[in-house]
Amino acid sequence: MKLQSLAFLAQALSAGTAYAQIPSGIIPIGILPSGFPTGILPTGLPKGILPTGLPKGIFPSFMTRTQSTSVPKPSATACPGNTPNNRAAWCNYSIDTDYENVVPYTGETREYWFDIDEVTIAPDGFPRPVMAVNGTIPGPTVIANWGDWVVIHVTNHLEKARNGSSIHWHGIRQNYTNQNDGVVSITQCPLTPGKTMTYRWRAVQYGSSWYHSHIGLQAWEGVFGGIIINGPATANYDIDKGSLILNDWTHAAVDELYDTEQVLGPLTLDNGLINGTNVLGTGTNSTRGSRFTMKVDQGSSYRLRLVNAAIDTHWSFMIDNHNLTVIAMDLVPIKPFTTNIVYIGMGQRYDIIVEANQASVAENFWIRALAKDVAAPVWDKTENVTLTNATGVFRWELNSTSMLVLWENPTLKQVYNNQMHFTNSSGVIELPFKDEWVYFMITTPRAITHPIHLHGHDFSVLAQGTGIWNGSMITKNPPRRDTAMLPINGYLLLAWQTNNPGAWLMHCHIGWHLEAGFALQFIERYDEIKPLIDYKELQDICRPWDAYDKKADVVQMDSGV
């Protein structure tokens, strides 16, 4: 039978209100299959201890180059046995393998070369200078297999902008590789214009994520891209279509908007993009730019990897006339459930399967990424912010601290030099003990939803809701992820195990809020961090920045992360 081709047409509407609430209970979070390893917390307060972390792994004696030009073209492929009829299989492993404690040894290293540069592009038909990885927004996708090592050489070409840079690998656990987390002021100094650094980490998880700059607002100037780690899945599908990265977009540089946002509050941006493209205007007025399109065949099923890379926009994602089967959230596989709309907070990811089964209805269907709005509250300087300083500029607090850390003096440098005491503005919480469970409650009286992201771990969500917490918790197979929503006027109770030594940032993933200090850091197992630090490599980044900073007189105007 001849298959009829369908084209899913993409539509991303303007961002509208710059923050939004996910109404509770609209889509289920999902329950993992019986027997699936989740680091399940025991009944009652979790006290159990899991085995001591994942293996560190050894770099293989050879490297597999995934490309020969400046744009990576990875060659990672599925393991034998992982077929459209059996996506649960993965070589000698499966979806039931305890990925907390077992990681395949592949003997492969996926190597990439990133150039961060200033270019002029027109994602929606409106040209403007941006910062981009290898000249595109989004940048090239990092693709690897579960168990591979990944090596990425990053060169900073932002000489004209006088910007340092870094790349953070969002959601990547960095087991015993904390120095490669890519967070300026925490794990490294800024990468100096004209210099190159190399990140190395092992893909101990599988699923979908993204990378982005972690200095200032640079990520939302265009320095971001997708990460795909191939592995088993909880449902079958025919074809993997890769990442669909959703982001809001402004025709002015985000740095130009920051001061305004600090004084006036959340801003409405100019547009939304799907995989770096959209039209300018709506309907018949769409005369500039182009929509994202995806061709599919009637009767086939497709995996899509949704990523919210916005600075301050919740997305409601849907495909007209089609159901969406959700199989993973962040880098955690889940028991599949079906819905017709998925709500995605900033920094979150959802893997979905779509069956192209509506050819009898039409040949073309809209893919919609709509800004999820709520009525904007009146922005009152005394009621809607945590802190107002003498200049009337808003600062955000987490754990009663508004973070301010210095680019030139990262936490790992301080730890290596045996510094035991940190300033209040460093936002440090020490976790000294090995393999203990940490419980962290975050509450807010404010009418704003915050996406809370933790580096170096995923966590169990024990409680989440509006109002005052009543003490109840989900202790049987709680949801797990690395970015969860703190609801409006609500609370969020998280738990994770101290099985990964390092300095790990926790922060709100609204870009404006992170810039204004809504962050803290956990120093986990202090005594074990120093042996993991390559101090020469750390100083190879810090010394050039110190010299450049003095010569160019760069002024730090933000939280440092």
The pLDDT of residue 63: 28
The pLDDT of residue 374: 38
For the residues 341-357, what does the mean pLDDT come to? 98
DSSP 77-89: -PPTT-BTTBTTE
Question: To the nearest whole number, what is the mean pLDDT of the chain?
Answer: 83
Q: How confident is the model at residue 104 (pLDDT cuts 50, 70, 90)?
A: very high
Q: What percent of the chain is predicted at pLDDT more than 70? A: 81
Query: Model confidence over 489-532: pLDDT tens digits?
Result: 999 999 999 999 999 999 999 999 999 899 999 999 999 999 99
Q: What percent of the chain is predicted at pLDDT more than 90? A: 72
The pLDDT of residue 79: 86
Asked if the model's pLDDT at residue 353 lies above 60, the reply is: yes
Q: How confident is the model at residue 18 (pLDDT cuts 50, 70, 90)?
A: very low
For the residues 374-385, what does the mean pLDDT come to? 28
The pLDDT of residue 398: 59
The pLDDT of residue 48: 27
The pLDDT of residue 4: 32
Q: Which of 124-138, 224-238, 309-323, 437-451 has the lowest mean pLDDT?
A: 437-451
Q: Which amino acid is at 26?
A: I
On whether the CB atoms of residues 199 and 182 are closer than 8 A, the answer is: yes
What's the pTM value of the predicted model, to 2 decimals?
0.85
Q: How confident is the model at residue 34 (pLDDT cuts 50, 70, 90)?
A: very low
Look at residue 211 and give its three-state secondary structure: strand
Q: Which helix (H) or strand (E) holds 368?
A: strand 364-371
The pLDDT of residue 394: 41
Q: How confident is the model at residue 29 (pLDDT cuts 50, 70, 90)?
A: very low
The pLDDT of residue 402: 86
For the residues 328-333, what does the mean pLDDT come to? 97
Asked if the model's pLDDT at residue 381 lies above 90, the reply is: no
Q: What is the bridge-based pairing of β-strands 288-289 and 437-443?
A: unpaired
Show Cβ contacts of residue 221 under 8 Å, excluding neighbours closer than 6 positions: 130, 131, 253, 254, 255
Asked if the model's pLDDT at residue 255 lies above 80, the reply is: yes
Distance CA 355, CA 226 (A): 23
On whether the CB atoms of residues 517 and 397 are closer than 8 A, the answer is: yes
As a CATH number, domain 387-552 is: 2.60.40.420
The pLDDT of residue 326: 98
Distance CA 347, CA 308 (A): 5
Q: How confident is the model at residue 53 (pLDDT cuts 50, 70, 90)?
A: very low
Q: How confident is the model at residue 49 (pLDDT cuts 50, 70, 90)?
A: very low
Q: Which of 55-64, 89-98, 294-303, 534-543 has the lowest mean pLDDT?
A: 55-64
Q: What is the bridge-based pairing of β-strands 109-121 and 64-65?
A: parallel
Query: Model confidence over 207-230: pLDDT tens digits?
Result: 999 999 999 999 999 999 999 999
The pLDDT of residue 31: 25
For the residues 440-446, what does the mean pLDDT come to? 91
Q: How confident is the model at residue 12 (pLDDT cuts 50, 70, 90)?
A: very low
On whether the CB atoms of residues 404 and 561 are closer than 8 A, the answer is: no
On whether the CB atoms of residues 328 and 334 are closer than 8 A, the answer is: yes
On whether the CB atoms of residues 128 and 288 are closer than 8 A, the answer is: no
Q: Which of 24-33, 340-349, 443-452 has the lowest mean pLDDT?
A: 24-33
